[in-house]
Amino acid sequence: MKVVPSDSICEEVKDFFRETFKEEPDYVVGAPGRVNLIGEHTDYQGGFVMPIALDKKCVVAIRRRSDGVHRMATKFAPDEVKTFEKGELPTKREDSDGEHTQWWHYVLGAIQCTREAFPDKVGTEPPGFDLAIVTDVPVGAGLSSSASVEVSVSAALEALCGMEVDPIQRAKICQRAEHEWARMPCGLMDQAISSGGLAGHAMLLDCRSEEPSHVPLSTEKTRVLVVDSGVRHRLVDGAYALRAEQCKQAVAALSKRRGSAGGSLTQLRDATPEEVAEASTEGVLTGDVRMRAEHVTSENARCLRFAELMKQGDVEAAGEEMYSSHASLRDLYAVSTPEIDWLVDHAKGLGIQGGVYGARITGGGFGGCVVMLVDAGKAESVRSSVLSAYRQWVEGNRDAYERHLTPVPQPGAFVAMPSDGAHRYE
């Protein structure tokens, strides 16, 4: 794990640790959130994704205890310290309190899945510890706040137990934690980029082979702008799981259509847009299942084209792929919202002359953020103008929000610098 000098959020978590536990931490580790440039809702079908690690992160301070007690706290709930006496740390989600997923489920999942992966190093029960969490990754904005918690907690336990773990292996451990403890059937992308991101690069991840390659991003020519719509989602409410199930239904239908002589088809990664179109014409794929398959197969192709265009420096053509991705997510995967669509349309209206090459929804959907590829020299002016225009639009719709008892969005925006993945502080 890379070792880096202290920064402001490192000092913040150390202060919070001291206030909460009245001791000094043994280790401080961090893991970033992510924004996905392209390749959305493809990872859990073995496809391709291309995220960057953000310079916003979750940071964990940890200290070994000799009495076997486990205590954990987060600055989001500073008056709530979860305490488990020796031998009482839950080993599976069903044994933990809380019907709905809470912050400590992500912590417990990362701890127990790491222990199960390395029982010889961690032991039959994790060593006692005090653990404190501080994060500046926006929660519910589609920037992988949950993955950053899981990866940073897993990395903290690694440090405490003197382990060095491969980034992809760590990512797979944390993906399992998300599946079993947060009950979210996610792919590998979020944990992979949080664990193994490289500064100045995007990660082109083949989610079937689980092999990452790093694509340089020209920070001289472009910047990545993240605009938070202020609309919050909760993917655990079932919409994400429903789409994952619809993809499985598409795989089953396409596999049956191929027959034994047609070659293996275990994920939509194995299908092509042309095959999906033919199956749709024949009535094999219909309704929502057809649309989900159309999106995934076309998005895989878009992601690979985008990566090549960025390598070639053709940011204008790469931006068009982003707009196409958004249209597919809006119309075929049905995960956008009016606010997100307004932001993408506004970006497209600004155009290249206004400093925007491309824009799309990013993350699981149903709110969250828009990612924009913008001119490096105009990044700050684009950020300011987009945010100002969007706030005016939201204010113009205030009556509608209040009439439907919907929270009025509180937007934000920041320029993201591609950063390193999991790291330990000096």
Listing DSSP states for 80-104 in one string gives -EEEE-TT-S-SSGGGSS-SS--HH
Residue 403 CA to its chain's centroid (Å): 32
Tell which residue, 21, 24, 32, has the closest CA to residue 155.
Answer: 32
Q: Which two tokens stand for residue 45?
A: 């079908």
For the chain, the helix, strand and coil percentages under 3-state DSSP, each to the nearest 5: 45, 20, 35
* Cα 165–Cα 363–Cα 77 angle in degrees, nearest 5: 70
3-state secondary structure of 333: coil
Distance CA 406, CA 398 (A): 9
356-362 and 369-375 beta bridge pairing: antiparallel
Distance CA 401, CA 230 (A): 13
Q: Which two tokens stand for residue 107?
A: 């912590």
* 335 bridge partner residues: none
Distance CA 423, CA 196 (A): 9
At residue 237, the pLDDT reads: 62
- The residue type of 301 is A
* Contact between residue 401 and residue 407 where contact means Cβ atoms under 8 Å apart: yes
190 is annotated as an active-site residue: yes
* 176 bridge partner residues: none
At residue 263, the pLDDT reads: 78
Write down the pTM of the prediction. 0.91
At residue 235, the pLDDT reads: 55
At residue 234, the pLDDT reads: 57
* Contact between residue 60 and residue 79 where contact means Cβ atoms under 8 Å apart: no
Which of 55, 97, 166, 190 is labelled catalytic?
A: 190
Task: Give, for all 426 residues of the chain, the pLDDT tens digit.
Answer: 999 999 999 999 999 999 999 999 999 999 999 999 999 999 999 999 999 999 999 999 999 999 999 999 999 887 889 999 999 999 998 888 767 888 999 999 999 999 999 999 999 899 999 999 999 998 878 889 999 999 999 999 999 999 999 999 999 999 999 999 998 888 899 999 999 999 999 999 999 999 999 999 977 899 999 999 999 865 546 888 899 999 999 999 999 999 866 778 999 999 999 999 999 999 999 999 999 999 999 999 999 999 999 999 999 999 999 999 999 999 999 999 999 999 999 999 999 999 999 999 998 889 999 999 999 999 999 999 999 999 999 999 999 999 988 889 999 999 999 999 999 999
At residue 115, the pLDDT reads: 97
Tell which residue, 180, 181, 175, has the closest CA to residue 194.
Answer: 175
Distance CA 206, CA 203 (A): 9
Backbone angles phi, psi at 371, to 5 degrees: -105, 135
At residue 68, the pLDDT reads: 96
At residue 184, the pLDDT reads: 86
Within 10 Å of residue 211's Cβ, how many Cβ atoms? 10
At residue 63, the pLDDT reads: 99
Domain 2-216+420-425 has CATH 3.30.300.30: no
